[in-house]
């Protein structure tokens, strides 16, 4: 009668399997959603975010103040000669035959400095000169912010190669009314130098004249 025991066992297993399937079917969500399928937003892991880069502290030299003493300076020769007011007591360094830099002796690097360059040989308008400068800034410097752009001026901030925050003013001049940019002036400084840098570049630009002796309009 062993076959009967085996048959009973098979029957019991079949009943158990059927009951399990039925219970499983009852617990499953068989509803069908509506609408178009959409991707589910992943909560973890989050997309990698680049950590902010802190600026290095500014040198604690006293800020550049408006109204500093000026003296008359002349650079260039012949028809390329230009005369203008320059800070009294600042040292002058010729970076090239057509470019000069002024810096107050004893001040730390990354404080304030003025640079003047003759660019008349480039045969470009002031508008083009500004476009070129903005393009170079965005391509070569980090954290560039254009704060103000005028017909012949530019104000901006950027991160220096030493990771310090810089605030700069630029002016372009057409000394002979040729429609071409002749001179580029820039004063770089810290945020605390902003007022003095603006005053300095305005005074230099307003007092600059070319070889003909005419004051820049």
Is residue 167 domain-resident? yes
| The predicted structure's pLDDT at residue 47 | 57
Is residue 184 domain-resident? yes
Provide block-wise average pLDDT over 10 residues at a time, the chain (217 residues). Answer: 44 46 45 52 58 91 98 92 97 93 97 96 93 97 98 98 97 94 97 98 97 55
Name residue 100's beta-bridge partners: 94, 116
Residue 101 phi, psi dihedral angles, 5° rounding: -125, 140
DSSP category for residue 28: S
| The predicted structure's pLDDT at residue 50 | 67
Provide the domain limits for residue 193.
71-207
* CA-closest candidate to residue 198, choices 183, 209, 185: 185
Is residue 8 domain-resident? no
Is residue 76 domain-resident? yes
CATH number at residue 88: 3.40.1000.10
The count of domains in the chain is 1
CA dist., res. 172 & res. 179, Å (int): 12
Is residue 9 domain-resident? no
Is residue 44 domain-resident? no
* CA-closest candidate to residue 173, choices 135, 133, 213, 210: 210
| The predicted structure's pLDDT at residue 40 | 55
Is residue 127 domain-resident? yes
Residue 173 and residue 205 in contact, taking contact as beta carbons nearer than 8 Å:
yes
Is residue 95 domain-resident? yes
């Amino acid at each position: 009668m062993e076959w009967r025991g085996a048959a009973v066992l098979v029957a019991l297993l079949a009943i158990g399997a059927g009951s399990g399937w039925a219970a499983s079917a009852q617990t499953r969500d068989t509803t069908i959603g509506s609408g178009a399928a959409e991707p589910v937003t992943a909560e973890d892991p989050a997309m990698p975010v680049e950590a902010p880069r802190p600026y290095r502290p500014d040198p604690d030299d006293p800020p550049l103040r408006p109204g500093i003493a000026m003296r008359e300076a002349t650079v260039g020769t012949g028809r390329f000669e230009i005369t203008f007011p320059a800070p009294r007591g600042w040292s002058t360094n010729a970076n090239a035959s057509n470019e000069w830099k002024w810096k107050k002796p004893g001040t730390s690097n990354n404080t304030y400095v003025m640079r003047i360059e003759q660019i008349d040989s480039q045969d470009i308008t002031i508008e083009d000169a500004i476009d070129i400068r903005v393009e170079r800034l965005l391509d070569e410097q980090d954290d560039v912010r254009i704060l103000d752009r005028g017909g012949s001026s530019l104000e901006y901030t950027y991160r220096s190669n030493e990771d310090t925050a810089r605030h700069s003013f630029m002016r372009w001049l057409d000394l002979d009314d040729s429609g071409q940019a002749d001179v580029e002036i820039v004063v770089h400084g810290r945020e605390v130098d902003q007022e003095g840098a603006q005053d300095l570049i305005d005074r230099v630009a307003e007092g600059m004249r070319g070889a003909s002796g005419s004051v820049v309009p």
